[in-house]
Amino acid sequence: MFNQSFAKNLFLFGSVAGVMCFLYCLVLDVMGIIPLSGKLFPSNLFVLVAMILAVKNYRKHNPDAILHFWEGLVVSVLTASIAAVLLALLMYVYFATAHGQSLIQAFIKQAIVEYTGGKAQIVKETNEAYYNSLIAGIKAISPSSIAWSEIKQRPLIAILPSIMISLYFRRQYVK
C-alpha cells in the first residue's frame, strides 16, 4: 500500500507548507498587522496546495499509478499535521522573542477593548461567567498557547479538504 515516497512526500510538502505559513505570518507583521487569530486563516491555502501536491506526487510514484482512498487521506492529513507542527515550533520561537511578546500584549489590549465594547451583547447572548472566562482566556495567551492552538486546529481544518483531495486523485484498483 504505502511506498518509499510516502515519508519523503510528507516531510517535503509539510515542511514547505509550514515555512510558507510562517513567512505569511512575518509578512503580516511587516505590514503592521498582528499575526494572530483569524488573520492567519488565509495561510491555510499553503497547506491546501501542499496537500494536493503531496497526494499527486505520491500517486505519481506508485508503481501502477493508482491510489486508494485511504492512502490519499493519510498522506494529505499527515502533510497538514507536519506543516502544523513545524509552524507551531516556528511561531513559538518567534513569539517568545521580545518583539513577539510585544505583539502578544498589543493583541491582548486590542481584544479586551473590543470585547469590553461588546460586553452587553455577549452577556445577553450567553452569561457573565462565559464573558469572564473569555477575557481570562485572552489574557492567558502565550507563545505556548499559540503553538498548541496551531497543532490542534490546522489538522482539523484539513480533514474535509483531505477527503476531497483523496477522492479526486483516487483510482480504483483494476485486477
Segment 108-131, tens digit of pLDDT: 999 999 888 888 888 888 888 888
Burial class (CB in 10 A: 0-12, 13-18, 19+), 175: exposed
pLDDT digits (tens, 9 = 90+) for 95-106: 999 999 999 999
Q: pLDDT at residue 66 above 80?
A: no
Question: What's residue 120's pLDDT?
Answer: 86
Q: What is the pLDDT of residue 96?
A: 95
The pLDDT of 143-167, averaged and rounded, is 92
Give the span between the Cα atoms of 156 and 95, in whole angstroms. 23
pLDDT band at 173 (very low <50, low <70, confident <90, very high): low
pLDDT in tens, 6-53: 788 889 999 999 999 999 999 999 999 999 888 888 999 999 999 999
**Which alpha helices (H) appear in 39-127, and where do they start and end?**
44-60, 69-96, 98-117, 119-125
Confidence check: pLDDT of 4 > 80: no
Looking at residue 121, its amino acid is Q
Q: What is the pLDDT of residues 156-165, one digit of tens each?
A: 999 999 999 9
Q: What is the pLDDT of residue 9?
A: 82
Place of cell 489574557: 139
Residue 40 confidence (pLDDT):
85
User: How far is the C-alpha of 64 from the C-alpha of 68, rounded, in Å?
Assistant: 12
Residue 175 has pLDDT above 60, yes or no: no
pLDDT of residue 70: 86
Q: Please state the domain extents for the chain.
A: 5-96+143-169
| Structural contact between residues 57 and 5, judged by C-beta atoms closer than 8 angstroms | yes
Contact 154, 83 (CB under 8 A): yes
E strand or H helix that includes residue 16? helix 5-30
For residue 65, pLDDT beyond 80: no
